[in-house]
């Protein structure tokens, strides 16, 4: 009985739309008349095997991996620091991380255009500090996309890491140090393994949406870096070839599901060890 | 006061950069416009706040009632137009939807799913034939729109499905203080790209960027010939290493701040940019240039076609049309409205109607089955 509302919600807003998309991916649409034909064809999936689409998948995966790695490197110390504060301070710091979410994602991404542009705030600040001379030339590059992705997804990495780190009994790394382990060894052998479920959860939460990210590359990439999300959007919004767009989306989703299942298996194994 | 007025037009144009052109054709812009509109656009705007008082000049109108659903760009109407029409027809309400229906395909899908979604809509020439092929358009009875006489024949011929409302050219602009040469052709534009590497902007609108490249190569800007499309693709790939960005929003911004020195852009955007940076020079290339023309078309499932015709006719009164142009800052199609249009628009050489330039214009047209080839080629340019 209790599961009813959740099941209904999942069915209505997740499984049904997903099913529609899968069904669409086997159809064909006349791009002139927009009429849909249900031939149950796999042609859409065959068409994906094209260097244009495969390259965009590879490009998206590489950028997503880089952004996820950077989020982890930056997010871990942040989460660790927060987890070692008093409860009141923890709440304040977590609130500070959440505050940007109160503003539209689109607006925040556009704000980076002004920050990264030549003669933008970042360049002027760098010039004042004497670390930059001349144009930054960052905007509309893959670096700008990377910065945008890390900025956008960093909080999603910090939260699961914080939850995992906060659960670690401070006595455990202390005991390791009492037993002669140096600080970094205690971290590597005790803290990090215990935080691994949070690391994996953070990587999934960041990595999966970052792979299909559309807005950040479109705004900060200057249209020069074709990502998978942009290809999907192009099929839906411009060409009007919904079946092919659906096939592209289903393919990426399948890939991500495989990654998710593999990571779940790793998490389960880790939890058994811990 | 003048500043405030200019500012008002500027704000509209800035919003337009985000919504209107991208919403129709941009590869990136279309979806972005949809997202942007979803974030803040849309809503009902039935009735403005100021009446122009000119609406009654059409004589005693037949009584109309009910509701008209109008798919439009945000703020793409005269500021007093709805109110003035409401004075004529108190029982008729116009409900404007500017929530970002997106591309033609999105509009068609929406209408196919809900035939009563709209009574009439604003759409560019490139998209209308798609709706026509989908059997969505209603025939306009121009006898009920006598003010169509105010629109010159060349625009009526270019947009025969409804009433043409506005048009715009896609040329290029450069910073005359930062570029030594004085380019006048697309060939100049392409030849200068290596010299000003990293400071060149292209439009993220395949019809316009590919179309202008095709014109440079001596082909039809709307060609359906695959080899010609691929030739344009290759020319664009050749200059891509020198391109700073392929964008559909804030296109003139790098030209204003000097981050770029030469870029393809819409005329209205350059007219706006020139207010902020006087060294920006507009070029309507000698080989020719792409242009868009937009207008209102009616949906054949509408049960309010009488009212649609009445509002179309009302919009084409010079007073109302001038209100529309003064509010939006668009290049205009109605010479008889010129005395009522702000001088910063009517006297602006970028926006003003010029027969010689008009003769070189190629209007964006529907690509039909070739749309897939165009999109594929454009995606190859972007992924190169």
Domain parsing of chain B, residue ranges: 2-167+291-352, 170-289+365-383
Q: Mind spelling out the 3-state secondary structure of chain A?
A: CCHHHHHHHHHHHHHHHHHHHHHHCCCEECCCCCCEECCCCCHHHHHHCCHHHHHHHHHHHHHHHHHHHHHHHHHHHHHHHHHCCCHHHHHHHHHHHHHHHHCCHHHHHHHHHHHHCCCCHHHHHHHHHCCCCCCCCCCCCHHHHHHHHHHHHHHHHHHHHHHHHHCCCCHHHHHHHHCCCCHHHHHHHHHHHHHHHHHHHHHHHHHHHHHCCCHHHHHHCCCCCCCHHHHHHHHHHHHCCHHHHHHHHHHHHHHHHHHHHHHHHHHHHHHHHC
Q: Is the pLDDT of residue B30 over 80?
A: no
For residue A27, being part of any structural domain is answered with: no
Q: Is the pLDDT of residue A267 over 50?
A: yes
Percentage of residues in chain A having pLDDT higher than 70: 98
Q: What are phi and psi of B80, to 5 degrees?
A: -110, 10
For residue A258, being part of any structural domain is answered with: yes
For residue A18, being part of any structural domain is answered with: no
For residue A14, being part of any structural domain is answered with: no
Q: Which residues pair with B63 in a beta bridge?
A: none
The burial class, CB within 10 Å (0-12 / 13-18 / 19+), for B200 is buried
Measured CA to CA, the distance from residue A135 to residue B259 in angstroms comes to: 8
For residue A90, being part of any structural domain is answered with: yes
pLDDT (0 to 100) of residue B7: 34
B105 touches A at CB < 8 Å: yes
Over residues B158-170, the pLDDT tens digits come to 999 999 999 999 9
Over residues A24-36, the pLDDT tens digits come to 999 998 877 777 8
Q: Which whole number is the average pLDDT over B344-348?
A: 89
Measured CA to CA, the distance from residue B62 to residue A152 in angstroms comes to: 56
> Which of A107-116, A154-163, B50-59, B141-150 is predicted least confidently?
B50-59
Handedness of CA B38, B39, B44, B45 (dihedral sign): negative
Please indicate whether residue A234 or residue A269 has the higher confidence score (pLDDT): A234
Q: Which CATH number does the domain housing residue A195 bear?
A: 1.10.3720.10
Over residues A69-86, the pLDDT tens digits come to 999 999 999 999 999 999
Confidence of residue B40 (pLDDT cuts 50, 70, 90): very low
- Chains A and B form CB pairs within 8 A to the count of 126
Over residues A98-139, the pLDDT tens digits come to 998 899 999 999 999 989 988 888 988 999 999 888 778 889
Give yes or no on whether B2-167+291-352 and B170-289+365-383 have one common fold.
yes
Q: What is the DSSP letter of B138?
A: P
Over residues A141-158, the pLDDT tens digits come to 889 999 999 999 999 999
pLDDT (0 to 100) of residue B110: 78
Q: Which two structure tokens, joined as six digits, stand for A11?
A: 């069915």
As a CATH number, domain B170-289+365-383 is 3.40.190.10
CB B316 within 8 A of CB B144: no
Complex prediction ipTM:
0.76
For residue A10, being part of any structural domain is answered with: no
pLDDT (0 to 100) of residue B61: 55
The burial class, CB within 10 Å (0-12 / 13-18 / 19+), for B84 is buried
Measured CA to CA, the distance from residue A144 to residue A221 in angstroms comes to: 6
Question: Tokens 């939850």 appear where?
Answer: A163
Measured CA to CA, the distance from residue A64 to residue A208 in angstroms comes to: 8
Task: State the smallest CA–CA distance between residue B114 and chain A in angstroms.
Answer: 15
Please indicate whether residue A207 or residue B30 has the higher confidence score (pLDDT): A207
Q: Which two structure tokens, joined as six digits, stand for A73?
A: 């490197």
The count of C-alpha atoms lying within 13 angstroms of the C-alpha of A168, restricted to the half-sphere facing its C-beta, is 26
B382 contacts in A (CB within 8 Å)?
223-226, 230
For residue A128, being part of any structural domain is answered with: yes
Over residues B62-80, the pLDDT tens digits come to 679 999 999 998 889 999 9
Q: Which two structure tokens, joined as six digits, stand for B178?
A: 């930062």
Q: What are phi and psi of B262, to 5 degrees?
A: -150, 140
pLDDT (0 to 100) of residue B106: 73
B368 touches A at CB < 8 Å: yes
Q: Which of A76, A18, A54 is nearest to A200 (CA)?
A: A76
Q: Which two structure tokens, joined as six digits, stand for A225?
A: 């870096």
Confidence of residue A273 (pLDDT cuts 50, 70, 90): low
How distant, in Å, are the alpha carbons of A124, A149, B19 from that of B125? 44, 37, 17
Task: State the smallest CA–CA distance between residue A153 and chain B in angstroms.
Answer: 19
pLDDT (0 to 100) of residue B57: 42
pLDDT (0 to 100) of residue A93: 96
Measured CA to CA, the distance from residue A40 to residue A24 in angstroms comes to: 9
Beta strand segments in B223-279, E = 243-247, 262-266
pLDDT (0 to 100) of residue A3: 86
> Which of B52-56, B206-210, B273-277 is predicted least confidently?
B52-56
pLDDT (0 to 100) of residue B93: 95
* B2-167+291-352 placed in CATH 3.30.1300.10: no
| Preferred mutation among B14, B27, B257, B370 to probe A, highest tally of A CBs within 10 A | B27
Over residues A176-191, the pLDDT tens digits come to 999 999 989 999 999 9
A34 contacts in B (CB within 8 Å)?
105, 108-109, 112, 130, 134
Measured CA to CA, the distance from residue A111 to residue A105 in angstroms comes to: 10
Measured CA to CA, the distance from residue B366 to residue B108 in angstroms comes to: 14
Dihedral in degrees, nearest 10, Cα atoms B107, B113, B119, B121: 0
Contact at CB, B109 and A52, closer than 8 angstroms: no
Confidence of residue B355 (pLDDT cuts 50, 70, 90): confident
CB A122 within 8 A of CB A114: no
Measured CA to CA, the distance from residue A61 to residue B370 in angstroms comes to: 31
A31 contacts in B (CB within 8 Å)?
105, 369, 371-372
Task: State the smallest CA–CA distance between residue A137 and chain B in angstroms.
Answer: 9
Measured CA to CA, the distance from residue A40 to residue A262 in angstroms comes to: 30
**Which residues, other chains included, contact A228 with Cβ-Cβ below 8 Å and sequence gap of 6+?**
A53, A56, A57, A59, A60, A211, A212, A248, A252
Mark which residues 119-138 of A lie under 8 Å from B by CB.
119, 135, 137
Measured CA to CA, the distance from residue A199 to residue A69 in angstroms comes to: 10
Q: Which whole number is the average pLDDT over B335-343?
A: 93
CB B69 within 8 A of CB B121: no
Q: Which two structure tokens, joined as six digits, stand for B34?
A: 């949809």
Count of domains forming chain A: 1
B184 touches A at CB < 8 Å: no
First vs last Cα of chain B: how many Å apart? 49
Mean pLDDT (chain A) is 90
Over residues A120-129, the pLDDT tens digits come to 889 889 999 9
For residue A141, being part of any structural domain is answered with: yes
């Amino acid at each position: 009985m209790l599961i009813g509302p959740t099941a209904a919600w999942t069915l209505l807003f997740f499984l049904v739309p997903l099913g529609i998309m899968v069904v669409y991916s086997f159809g064909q649409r006349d791009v002139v008349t927009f009429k849909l034909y249900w031939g149950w064809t796999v042609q859409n999936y065959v068409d994906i095997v094209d260097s244009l689409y495969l390259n965009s998948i590879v490009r998206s995966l590489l950028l997503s991996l880089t952004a996820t790695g950077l989020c982890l490197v930056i997010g871990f110390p942040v989460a660790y620091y927060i987890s070692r504060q008093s409860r009141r301070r923890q709440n304040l710091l977590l609130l500070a991380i959440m505050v940007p979410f109160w503003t539209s994602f689109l607006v925040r991404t556009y704000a980076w255009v002004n920050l990264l542009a030549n003669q933008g705030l970042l360049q002027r600040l760098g010039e004042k500090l004497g670390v930059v001379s001349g144009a930054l030339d960052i905007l509309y590059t893959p670096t700008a996309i990377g910065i945008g992705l890390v900025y956008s997804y960093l909080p999603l990495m910090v939260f699961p890491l914080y939850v995992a780190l906060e659960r670690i009994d401070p006595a455990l790394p202390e005991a390791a140090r009492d037993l002669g382990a140096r600080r970094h060894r205690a971290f590597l052998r005790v803290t990090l393994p215990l935080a691994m479920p949070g690391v994996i959860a953070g990587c999934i939460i960041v990595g999966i949406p970052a792979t299909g990210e559309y807005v950040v590359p479109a705004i900060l990439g200057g249209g020069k870096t074709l990502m998978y999300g942009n290809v999907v959007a192009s099929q839906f919004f411009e060409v009007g070839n919904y079946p092919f767009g659906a096939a592209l989306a289903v393919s990426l989703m399948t890939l991500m599901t495989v990654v998710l299942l593999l990571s779940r298996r790793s998490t389960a194994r880790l939890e058994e060890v811990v | 006061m003048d500043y405030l007025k200019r500012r008002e037009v500027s704000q509209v144009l800035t919003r337009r950069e985000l919504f209107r052109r991208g919403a129709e054709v941009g590869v990136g812009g279309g979806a972005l416009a949809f997202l942007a509109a979803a974030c803040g656009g849309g809503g009902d705007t039935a009735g403005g706040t100021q009446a122009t008082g000119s609406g009654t000049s059409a004589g005693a109108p037949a009584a109309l009632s009910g509701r008209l659903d109008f798919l439009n760009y945000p703020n793409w109407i005269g500021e007093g137009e709805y109110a003035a029409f409401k004075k004529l027809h108190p029982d008729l309400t116009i409900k404007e939807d500017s929530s970002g229906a997106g591309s033609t395909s999105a509009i068609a899908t929406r209408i196919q799913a809900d035939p009563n979604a709209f009574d009439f809509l604003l759409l560019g020439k490139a998209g209308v034939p798609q709706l026509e092929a989908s059997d969505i358009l209603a025939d306009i009875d121009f006898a009920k729109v006598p003010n169509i006489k105010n629109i010159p024949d060349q625009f009526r011929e270019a947009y025969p499905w409804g009433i043409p409302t506005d048009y715009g050219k896609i040329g290029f602009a450069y910073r005359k203080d930062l570029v030594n040469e004085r380019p006048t052709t697309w060939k100049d534009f392409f030849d200068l790209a290596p010299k000003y590497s990293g400071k060149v902007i292209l439009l993220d609108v395949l019809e316009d960027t590919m179309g202008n490249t095709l014109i440079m190569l001596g082909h039809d800007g709307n060609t359906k010939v695959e080899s010609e499309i691929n030739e344009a693709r290759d020319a664009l790939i050749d200059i891509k290493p020198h391109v700073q960005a392929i964008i559909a929003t804030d296109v003139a911004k790098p030209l204003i701040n000097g981050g770029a020195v030469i870029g393809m852009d819409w005329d209205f955007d350059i007219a706006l940019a020139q207010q902020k940076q006087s060294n920006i020079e507009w070029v309507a290339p000698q080989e020719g240039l792409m242009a868009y023309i937009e207008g209102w078309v009616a949906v054949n499932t509408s049960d309010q076609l009488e009212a649609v015709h009445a509002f179309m006719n009302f919009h084409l009164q010079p007073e109302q049309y001038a209100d529309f142009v003064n509010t939006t800052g668009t290049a205009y199609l109605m010479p008889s409205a010129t005395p009522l249009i702000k001088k910063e628009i009517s006297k602006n050489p970028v926006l003003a109607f010029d027969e010689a330039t008009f003769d070189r214009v190629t209007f964006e047209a529907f690509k039909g089955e070739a749309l897939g080839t165009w999109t594929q080629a454009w995606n190859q340019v972007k992924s190169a």
